[in-house]
Amino acid sequence: MTTGVPLAERGGRFRGVLDLVSGRFPGFVFGGHVGNDLLPAFHFHEVTREELEPKLRYLAENGYRTVTSDEISAYVRRQVRFDGPRVALCFDDAWESLWTVAAPLLKRYGLTAIAYAIPARIVDVAACRPTLERTGAATVSTDMNVSPFATWPELRALHDSGIVDVQCHTDSHSMIFCSSEVRGFVTPDYAATPLLNRPQLTPAPALRFLRADELGAPLYLARSRMSEGRRVAVSLALHERCVDYATREGGAAFFARADWRAKLGRLTGGAVGGAVERESEQGRAIEEELDRGRAILNDRLRTDTVRHVCLPWGVSGRRAAAALVRLGYRSAIANRWRGMNAIRPGDDPYWLKRLPNRHIFRLPGRGRRIWL
């Protein structure tokens, strides 16, 4: 059964198997060495001390040094060579644990990281939250009502410290609806859907995302804003009607009834398809996501060093790839079928690829764990 989402945009176990059998994993994962012609890059999201510290300790004890985005850009363009083993540590989304957990540990082990931040998701507050360095706790407890992401004061402190190279993850890290065909509904189980995977309901400037508490809301085919998928303006009136109906019928309890799907299906059965954005509108929206994200970060961090991007979910369509060049970005983390999941001299700087951070222990060194 087709999902309407190209295979290149999908993740999961099946995609991992395809990457394995197609030879996309670098040789060190299977016990090989790492030479000057390969730079392993690893990605993280939210982290705890228990999972992160052993990996940083392994790198430090085995003499690995870390690189910045500018150094990666120069490396793929054959402008520099590295002396000794290097890695890139990339923290996507700039979650609050980048500030509370990762930064103090990076400082402790003499390492640096690259963080890809999302300006539209960042809030301004009066002060920074406590960190692992200040509390000494294995897990730092923070008020998630402030923000699940690093705040502007925290991101500025990270940038000023030199420990974290802050770069762009687009302005809003959005999924967009690309069809008006209802494919499901928000149920209580939707709360398990990652925050950044919940689609955009309205674009900027009135940016609004689907919430897990909007029970009964229709779901449609969704793709990354950076993909070739064109946004469909689904009916917000229908959205509100379905949510109101589910609320009146008992909220979460409504979904324990055998007929809940049929009832919501009747409510959406006569829905009229929304307008599909024109190609020119799509191109403009993609450029605005890239340009606005970089501009806001440079302005709020009082710098001009934000010139690299990680595209959400690694998805890049031809319009996004062309926009990166037009806008003067120096590099991009993105995915495509060909190429190895590592960074090498001569690689296309707009299609750089990485590995999950669990593969850090496959790097050569004392205590190495070979993947069998």
Question: Looking at residue 148, what is its pLDDT?
Answer: 97
273: phi then psi, degrees, rounded to nearest 5: -60, 140
Q: How confident is the model at residue 1 (pLDDT cuts 50, 70, 90)?
A: very low
115/158 Cα distance (integer angstroms): 9
61/43 Cα distance (integer angstroms): 20
Both tokens of 112, joined, read: 């640096």
**Lowest-confidence region among 39-53, 79-93, 141-155:** 141-155
223-249 pLDDT, tens digit per residue, is 999 999 999 999 999 999 999 999 999
Place of tokens 């890239």: 290
Amino acid at 164: V
Ordered by start, the domain boundaries in the chain are: 7-172+302-362, 182-219+235-272
Place of tokens 């690893």: 42
State CA 79 to chain mean position distance.
28
CB 56 within 8 A of CB 357: no
Question: Looking at residue 135, what is its pLDDT?
Answer: 63
Q: How confident is the model at residue 2 (pLDDT cuts 50, 70, 90)?
A: very low
- The torsion of the CA quartet 145, 185, 196, 154, rounded to 10 degrees, works out to -10
104-157 pLDDT, tens digit per residue, is 999 999 999 999 999 999 999 999 999 987 666 655 555 556 899 999 999 999
345-357 pLDDT, tens digit per residue, is 999 999 999 999 9
CB 223 within 8 A of CB 282: no
Closest CA to 220 of 1, 3, 2: 3
Q: How confident is the model at residue 97 (pLDDT cuts 50, 70, 90)?
A: very high
Question: Looking at residue 309, what is its pLDDT?
Answer: 98
Q: Which residue has better confidence, 17 or 114?
A: 114
- Element containing residue 19 per DSSP (H, E): helix 12-21
Question: Looking at residue 339, what is its pLDDT?
Answer: 84
Quote the mean pLDDT of the chain.
93
Q: Above pLDDT 70, what percent of the chain?
A: 93
Task: Reply yes or no on whether the pLDDT at 367 is more than 80.
Answer: yes
Q: How confident is the model at residue 22 (pLDDT cuts 50, 70, 90)?
A: low
165-211 pLDDT, tens digit per residue, is 999 999 999 999 999 999 999 999 999 999 999 999 999 999 999 99
Print the SS3 string covering 118-177: CHHHCCCCCCCCCCHHHHCCCCCCCCCCCCCECCHHHHHHHHHHCCEEEEECCCCCCEEE
118/150 Cα distance (integer angstroms): 10
Question: Looking at residue 96, what is its pLDDT?
Answer: 97
CB 12 within 8 A of CB 342: no
Burial of residue 188 (CB within 10 Å: 0-12, 13-18, 19+) is middle
Query: Under CATH, which number does the domain 7-172+302-362 receive?
Result: 3.20.20.370
pTM: 0.94
278-329 pLDDT, tens digit per residue, is 999 999 999 999 999 999 999 999 999 999 999 999 999 999 999 999 999 9
255/253 Cα distance (integer angstroms): 5
